[in-house]
Amino acid sequence: MTIGEKIKTIRCFRGMTQKELGLALGFKEDNAQTRVAQYEMGYRVPKRDLTEKIAEVLNVCRYAIDAQEEETFTALIEELLWYDTENSNLICVKRVKQQNEKCTKVIRRNMKRDCPILPEDDSNLPGDVLMCFGGNKMNRFIDEWVGHKQDVQDGKITEAEYFEWKLQWAGSDVSDEIVVETEESPF
């Protein structure tokens, strides 16, 4: 998703018009709507200071709009969250507690049951796919993400509340960590 598409998605979620956003950003009334439209359509790309102001006006962290390349952890998380926003069945995240030889079988059975993206006949798949991270930071983020996705499925929070969490996740304790700790993989 481009920066412009993200701005438009968040602006619409906030119930703002292009003109309202442009005026809040300090653009002149006669070109406020046009300037925002140009950013949303990709004709213009906002510089970092404007990106920060857009994020402030839309009440989201800057990373929700534009995670810079040097912020690879944040960029990866933002990409995952935006993919999940575009198609909630694209990524299936689950908690795995088993740590023994039967783990793969349990994961396969649970993923088939809980994740609609896996085909019934998986004989053509190259094998079980499981992504593990060596750092506590990423694991804690994914655990937090799983919890929020499960809360939506259980009806504890709305889709709008879930989307709001995605826009604000960088304010959580997980994003505040600076040191990425390494640990042995649980598998």
Q: What's residue 51's pLDDT?
A: 92
Mean pLDDT is lowest, of 28-37, 81-90, 145-154, 157-166, for 81-90
- C-alpha closest to that of 11 among 50, 79, 65, 77: 65
% the chain with pLDDT above 90: 34
Domain boundaries, the chain: 3-65, 72-176
Q: What's residue 179's pLDDT?
A: 35
Are 60 and 46 spatial neighbours (Cβ–Cβ below 8 Å)? no
Domain 3-65, what fold? 434 Repressor (Amino-terminal Domain) (1.10.260)
Q: Which residue has the higher pLDDT, 41 or 181?
A: 41
Burial of 55 (0-12, 13-18, 19+ CB in 10 A): buried
The pLDDT tens digits of the residues spanning 170-186 come to 656 554 443 333 344 33
SS3 (DSSP) at 135: strand
